[in-house]
Amino acid sequence: MGKQIILTEVGPRDGFHNESKILDTATKVALIEASIEAGFKEIEFGYFTNLEKAPSLADVEMVYEKIKHHKEVKLKALIEDAEGLSRAVDAGVKQVKMSVSASNTYNMKKFNMSNEEKLRAIEKLVQEAMSKKIQISCAVSTSFGCPYEGKMTPSKIDTIASRLVEMGIQEIYISDTAGMGNPAEAENIFGFFLDKYPDRLFSAHFHDTRGMGLANVYAAIKVGVRRFDSSFGGLGGCPYVPGGKGNVSSEDLIHMLEEMGYQTGIDLDKAIQIGKKLETIFEKPMNSYVLEAGKSSELIRT
């Protein structure tokens, strides 16, 4: 893929899920459509789960129905069980995503399932999704560290990833859910998986909890990763991680990639406008350097 980088905007799911202010459907749709207009070709728009787990995303069916659909744009939704898959199918969704942790303790806290129980549940969902021609991907969360079990190694993560490969899943996300990763680990972990499974797509999902998100992206790029999640305004987090903060900011990531000569196909100025709109909507500054300082090019006086 050379200099081309594919970014998935996860703010409409990961971001809104972790905000106390619940947005109305029209506002969510407008922000998703603005992201499409900016050039995002992959967007994680919602989460099919029960109201108690994600009250801010309870209108997921309505959001999907009201978005202006484009053939070249993939709209993905997170699911975690058969009911969620059924709702996604009924809504007409064609791409779904699941998650399982590399940490058994984290799986127990989030899903009340052991690693093995969660993997067996995922296998059934994969079979059902494939029978309905639904594209399915899966994230391995806490891959760079877990608050309950500590740091992870490539071989530990692979006890999960290898099973996902056996199930036939084509795209696997390696996720730094707790924001514990560093660039050396990013290079080591992604180097391992890209070398071992060259026929699979590996995407990176970094949180910027300790300010290393962009550095981790760069380290992953060095070993060949070309697919990354990001969130407008740096929204996001995780309720199961103490002190957890948002994802890598979309505006910051696009800005860095452009400065380095990579192509995302996304209009940075339009992405910045989305971030500024979010600051108005949520009445607070976003977790974005570019929103605060502007683009580097704006400092140049000719």
Calculate the CA 67 to chain-centre distance: 19
Task: Give me the residue spans of the domains in the chain.
Answer: 6-293
Element (H, E) at 78: strand 74-79
| Angle formed by the axes of helices 154-166 and 183-196, nearest 10° | 40
- The yes-or-no verdict on residue 240 having pLDDT over 90 is no
Q: List the one residue out of 190, 204, 140, 144 whose CA is nearest residue 169.
A: 140
Query: Can you give the pLDDT at residue 248?
Result: 97
Quick one: tokens of 24? 């109305």
Query: Can you give the pLDDT at residue 238?
Result: 79
For the chain, percent of residues with pLDDT exceeding 90:
93
pLDDT one-digit tens code per residue, 219-238: 999 999 999 999 999 999 87
Residue 107 pLDDT level (bands cut at 50, 70, 90): very high
CA angle 243, 14, 86 (to 5 degrees): 130
Query: Can you give the pLDDT at residue 101?
Result: 97
- The yes-or-no verdict on residue 302 having pLDDT over 70 is no
Query: Can you give the pLDDT at residue 239?
Result: 74
b/e map 228-245, b = 16+ CB within 10 Å: bbbbbbbbbbbebbeebb
In angstroms, the CA 245 to CA 56 distance is 18
How is domain 6-293 classified at the CATH fold level? TIM Barrel (3.20.20)
- The yes-or-no verdict on residue 244 having pLDDT over 90 is no
Half-sphere exposure of 212 (CA within 13 A, CB side): 16
Question: Which residues partner with 171 through β-bridges?
Answer: 137, 201
- The yes-or-no verdict on residue 152 having pLDDT over 60 is yes
- The yes-or-no verdict on residue 299 having pLDDT over 90 is no
Average pLDDT over residues 129-150: 96
Decide which of 106 and 53 is more confident: 106
pTM over 0.85: yes
Element (H, E) at 274: helix 268-282
From residue 246, alpha-carbon distances to 15, 105, 295 in Å are 7, 22, 21
What mean pLDDT, rounded, does the chain reach?
95
In angstroms, the CA 234 to CA 250 distance is 7
Query: Can you give the pLDDT at residue 254?
Result: 98
- Catalytic residues, by residue number, are 238
- The yes-or-no verdict on residue 1 having pLDDT over 70 is no
